[in-house]
Amino acid sequence: WNANLIRWQLIRYIGAGKRAPLGEFDPWLESELSKLDAALPHCRRFGLHVVLDLHSPPGGKATASGYIGSDDRLFTDRASQDKFVDAWRRMAARYKGERAIWGFDLANEPVESLVEEGCDDWHALAERAAKAVRAVDPARVLIIEPPDWGGPDGFRDFQPIDVSNVVYSVHMYVPGAFTHQTIHGNEGGRTYPGDIDGTRWDKARLEAALAPVIEFQRRFNVHIYAGEFSAIRWAPAGSACRWLADVIDIFEAHGWDWSYHAFREWDGWSVEHGPDRNDRAPAAAPTDRQLLLRKWYARNEKPAW
């Protein structure tokens, strides 16, 4: 495929709505990092950068999809916040000098619905964790998503943190009624381009939705990385491919790095599966979405290690 970057998710599934005891976090993290340690030699061999993504930080509550998110006690419990900072301090020491790791994605899609007195909001917590990493490793790239699930609107009032060598990341699933149709309570049968919930969605409208990110990049002269984007594979009549093509064009026009969500995870996002929701087997021939991604991947440069 000629990929040159993977976003490695440190993710824990425990069942929707559940919480994990804080004491379980360190053993779980060690187990997950041991898997990464085994993969890193292969990443170096095949020229793959790694974004290390703490998808399930301490204190989070499991989402409707069953994985622990970046919310809940992460913003209401000081011990969970301290554990979060300490986890990144330890990972910085563990991977200092590891050339295959491009950057640390501090938390996936943070949601600070309630911040208790005595706890940090996401901006302050991210800065605290970033400075803990910097004390150990002055060179590592740090990746920060805004609040509000890492989406474009989270950039409206967000400010850069006071740490150097930071990349700011957006997750693009807009409009959600299209990208997530038939899941999470959304209706099906929505096409792109087309009218969705009374709004005409096309490439110009997608760029308008990303305007807060574009303005953040312009105003602060920062590096932008689209860490996740996708559209459900069974969107009607090739709509998913058209949406992906327009979104990637916008990313490229603004000089953003990007990684598609996801490779051989849930088949709803898989470009190796066709448009029939009931067919859970990979397609016999490359799909239009796979061909689109591979066209872009053909332009990739491998790291000069």
Q: Could you report the per-residue pLDDT of 156-200, keeping only the tens digit for each? A: 999 999 999 999 999 999 999 999 999 999 999 999 999 999 999
**If you average pLDDT over residues 40-48, what whole number do you get?**
98
Q: Tell whether 179 and 118 lie within a shared domain.
A: no
Within a domain: 159: no
Per-residue tokens: 198 = 């009374």
CA 224 vs CA 81, 106, 131, 143, 255: distances in Å? 26, 15, 20, 9, 8
**If you average pLDDT over residues 57-69, what whole number do you get?**
96
Q: Tell whether 139 and 175 lie within a shared domain.
A: no
Within a domain: 161: no
Within a domain: 47: yes
Within a domain: 265: no
Per-residue model confidence (pLDDT) at position 77: 98
Q: Tell whether 4 and 139 lie within a shared domain.
A: yes
- Provide the number of structural domains found in the chain: 2
Q: Tell whether 134 and 202 lie within a shared domain.
A: no
Residue 77 belongs to domain with CATH number: 3.20.20.80
Last residue of a domain, one of 109, 127, 144: 144
Q: Tell whether 133 and 207 lie within a shared domain.
A: no
Last residue of a domain, one of 99, 128, 144: 144
**If you average pLDDT over residues 276-287, what whole number do you get?**
98
Within a domain: 263: no
Per-residue model confidence (pLDDT) at position 294: 99
Q: Are 245 and 292 in contact (CB under 8 A)?
A: yes
Q: Tell whether 194 and 284 lie within a shared domain.
A: yes
Residue 1, Cβ neighbours under 10 Å: how many?
A: 10
Q: Quick one: which of 72, 8, 87, 12 has its CA closest to 40?
A: 8
Residue 209, Cβ neighbours under 10 Å: how many?
A: 18
Q: Tell whether 109 and 214 lie within a shared domain.
A: no
pLDDT in tens, 116-149: 999 999 999 999 999 999 999 999 999 999 999 9
Within a domain: 192: yes
Within a domain: 237: yes
Last residue of a domain, one of 144, 160, 185: 144
pLDDT in tens, 204-256: 999 999 999 999 999 999 999 999 999 999 999 999 999 999 999 999 999 99
Residue 3, C-beta contacts closer than 8 angstroms, at least 6 positions apart: 48, 297, 300
C-alpha span between 275 and 293 (Å, rounded):
16
**What residue numbers bound the domain in which 209 lies?**
170-221+231-255+270-304
In this prediction the pTM is 0.97
Whether cis (ω within 30° of 0) applies to the bond prior to 193 is yes
Look at residue 304 and tell me whether its pLDDT is greater than 90. no
Taking all residues of the chain, what is their mean pLDDT, rounded to a whole number?
A: 98
